[in-house]
Amino acid sequence: MKTHYSKFRFARPWPLLAALLAGCAPTANVPVATSPPAAAAAAPAPPDYRAQADAFLASYTADYVRLYTQSSEAEWTSNTHIVPGDTTNAGRTARANERMAAFAGSSANIQKIRELLAQKDQLTPLQTKQLETALYNAANSPQTVADLVKRRIKAEAAQTEKLYGFDYKYAGKRVTTNDIDGLLRTETNPRKRQQLWEASKEIGPTLKPGLLNLRDLRNQTVQALGYPDFFSYQASDYGLTREEMMTLVRQLNTELRPLYRELHTYARYELAKKYHAQQVPDYLPASWLPNRWGQDWGSLVTVKGINLDAALAKKGPAWPVKQAERFYQSLGFPALPASFYEKSSLYPLPAGASYKKNNHASAWHMDLGQDVRSLMSVEPNTEWYETTHHELGHIYYYLTYTNPDVPPLLRQGANRAYHEALGSMMGLAAQQKPFLVGLGLIDAQTKTDQTQQLLKEALQYVPFIPFASGVMSEWENAFYAENLPADQLNAKWWALCKQYQGMVPPTARGENYLDPATKTHINDDPAQYYDYALSYIILFQLHDHIARNILHQDPHATNYYGSQEVGQFLQGIMRPGSSRDWRTVLKEKTGEDLSARAMVAYFEPLMGYLKAQNKGRKYTM
């Protein structure tokens, strides 16, 4: 593969020729003017490193955006038009990603970036930030190991094809993951629930060889630029070492453990009653929970008076997307570009379609400019209502930091968790009662049990922390950094599920399975799932600030709709992209450092209720 990069030219000041020519030897009887002593050579003008950085970044950015766009387009097609057995898209995507990798990781670019960063005291902070970002990107595909990078790209494309081209089957029929998720929320027969849960895990063995291969390729790729392992590389994007990141996520688990312990005990007893179990199990069978990974238990509680599924079913699948856009517009954000609706893939494929698509919701910044898209499979139900608000949060974040003050290389969130935090926060806000009343989704006179509403929210948000910062982060840390043996992958997963979630499989799950690989992120968004845990912490910090200091409302009953001041607050966070340090942004906007304080405080009113319900019950965590 020919390396694809620009030949950069830099403005270099020429040294002045300062030496004076010596006079000729004097001729006899000819008076000669006495020449002054030769002046010392004038010192050469110092290099203008800022000018060099500007020239490099201008050229680099032009090529980066062009190749990034080509890669995005190829990835988009690979995710939205999957034909089993057809490798055309995978090949096209691999070639586009190879070109991107060859440029971003080119030896010439790495050398020049390092030369400039060695003079960072003479550069502007914005220049330094861009160069550091470029060097971080280079570590993902250094061309000093070009063949390794090429093999990794090919392996990732193949893994994506397997991941999203898989045929799930239940009761002898082909089903989608949407179908499985819906049935896990509603099915009451324990035997059928177990069959559904097992059907959701059937893809694991198919993905195992590819994932083991990708572990080696990902580790070896970043090791070429000095990172110990791929997990350490991902954590460094936060300015943290691997050990510091693990200390942080473990701290979050510790802070939320008392609340999770109460919820876990409550759920064990309530579900045992629901499924007519003869004994209350010490640990939750995974098939009892309404989510394939036990990360969200919100549907275990139905709040009387609030039946969003029934209200939304009458609206049709297009309504949640358009309503989410109206919400953001009410805060002062612009209408979405027309191309968003023209180019996005927002709804499930029609029955009988000859191809598949990625079933995991995502938002895409195709060209680091105005081409923004979303990949979803929206249906008119509560889950997709929340998801549309979340995904449009990403979209509006993209559009807000796409401005002349933020170079394309820094068009990212303040850190990766900020993107998720802002989207999830809007999903939370869109489900609070005053907001729903304002939309006419529930009647203003409807009596609701605030304790049950808070319990539902706790079951939705709190179990996610031990899953994301516990199970996922610990497993990927062991997988990449500690070289978890191939014959212990599933055992490690279930040991962590028991430790952090208090959850066990319904039947023995040996190493012939690979249950962690059924989580899409393990394959195509690896070693950074703690992003989501951190995002929940940031979510509650921002929401607490908005409720108390901007809206002056109870954090449990807010209505953001139509508040231009809330919009201005959010845009103030979004606008700089990653051009400012994420810690500074958080402290400046909320007045506090990263902490679970706000999340714990939000659910504190629930603790008395849970302890009363759990009185006399056996705690196992």
**pLDDT tens per residue, range 157-191:** 899 889 988 999 999 999 999 899 999 999 999 99
Instruction: Say how far apart CA 256 and CA 240 lie, in whole Å.
Output: 22
Cα–Cα distances (Å) from 11 to 32, 54, 134, 152, 501, in that order, read 43, 10, 21, 37, 59
Residue identified by tokens 């209502």 is 385
Do the Cβ atoms of 18 and 42 come closer than 8 Å?
Answer: yes
Q: What's the confidence (pLDDT) of residue 37? A: 53
- For residue 369, give both structure tokens: 């400019």
CB under 8 Å to 196, separation ≥6 — which residues?
170, 180, 183, 184, 187, 287
Domain of 268, in residue numbers:
258-613
Task: Assess whether 285 and 431 both reside in one domain.
Answer: yes
Domain boundary among 155, 175, 193: 155
Do the Cβ atoms of 455 and 301 come closer than 8 Å?
Answer: yes
Domain boundary among 97, 120, 155: 155
Is 535 contained in some domain?
A: yes
Of the candidates 294, 287, 258, the residue with the CA atom closest to the CA atom of residue 614: 258
Q: What's the confidence (pLDDT) of residue 41? A: 59
Of the candidates 281, 282, 274, the residue with the CA atom closest to the CA atom of residue 300: 274
Is 278 contained in some domain?
A: yes
Do the Cβ atoms of 243 and 254 come closer than 8 Å?
Answer: no
CA angle 81–87–92, rounded 5-degree value:
80
CATH of the domain at 586: 1.10.1370.30
Task: Assess whether 136 and 283 both reside in one domain.
Answer: no
pLDDT digit string, tens, across residues 493-524: 999 999 999 999 999 999 999 999 999 999 99
Q: What's the confidence (pLDDT) of residue 14? A: 23
Q: Name the strand (E) or helix (H) holding 537.
A: helix 530-545
Q: What's the confidence (pLDDT) of residue 43? A: 73
Task: Assess whether 430 and 550 both reside in one domain.
Answer: yes
Instruction: Say how far apart CA 285 and CA 299 lie, in whole Å.
Output: 16
- For residue 272, give both structure tokens: 């045992």
Task: Assess whether 266 and 138 both reside in one domain.
Answer: no
Residue identified by tokens 């020729």 is 17
Do the Cβ atoms of 459 and 609 come closer than 8 Å?
Answer: no
Is 183 contained in some domain?
A: no
Q: Name the strand (E) or helix (H) holding 114.
A: helix 107-117
Task: Assess whether 520 and 393 both reside in one domain.
Answer: yes
Predicted model pTM: 0.85
| Phi-psi map region of 239: left, alpha, beta (phi>0 left; psi -120 to 50 alpha) | left
Q: Name the strand (E) or helix (H) holding 555.
A: none
503-504 and 362-365 beta bridge pairing: unpaired
Do the Cβ atoms of 376 and 387 come closer than 8 Å?
Answer: yes
Q: Show the low-confidence residues of the chain (pLDDT under 50).
A: 1-35
Is 345 contained in some domain?
A: yes
Instruction: Say how far apart CA 374 and CA 380 lie, in whole Å.
Output: 17
* Number of structural domains found in the chain: 2
Phi, psi at 608, each rounded to 5°: -60, -45
Cα end-to-end span (Å), the chain? 54
Instruction: Say how far apart CA 152 and CA 213 lie, in whole Å.
Output: 9
- For residue 376, give both structure tokens: 């979803």
Q: Got the DSSP string for 268-311? A: HHHHHHHTT-SS--SSEEGGGSSSTTS---GGG---TT--HHHH
Give Cα 279 to chain centroid, integer Å. Answer: 40
Is 223 contained in some domain?
A: no
Do the Cβ atoms of 56 and 8 come closer than 8 Å?
Answer: yes
Domain boundary among 155, 178, 193: 155
**Single-letter amino acid, residue 2:** K
Of the candidates 282, 277, 245, 253, the residue with the CA atom closest to the CA atom of residue 528: 245
Q: What's the confidence (pLDDT) of residue 31? A: 41
Instruction: Say how far apart CA 507 and CA 25 lie, in whole Å.
Output: 104
Question: In 10 A of CB 400, how many CB atoms?
Answer: 21
Q: At what angle do helices 582-590 and 530-545 cross, to 10 degrees?
A: 30
Is 539 contained in some domain?
A: yes
- 3-class SS of residue 375: strand
Is 371 contained in some domain?
A: yes
Is 27 contained in some domain?
A: no
Q: Up-side HSE of residue 563: CA atoms within 13 Å toward CB?
A: 21
Do the Cβ atoms of 397 and 413 come closer than 8 Å?
Answer: yes
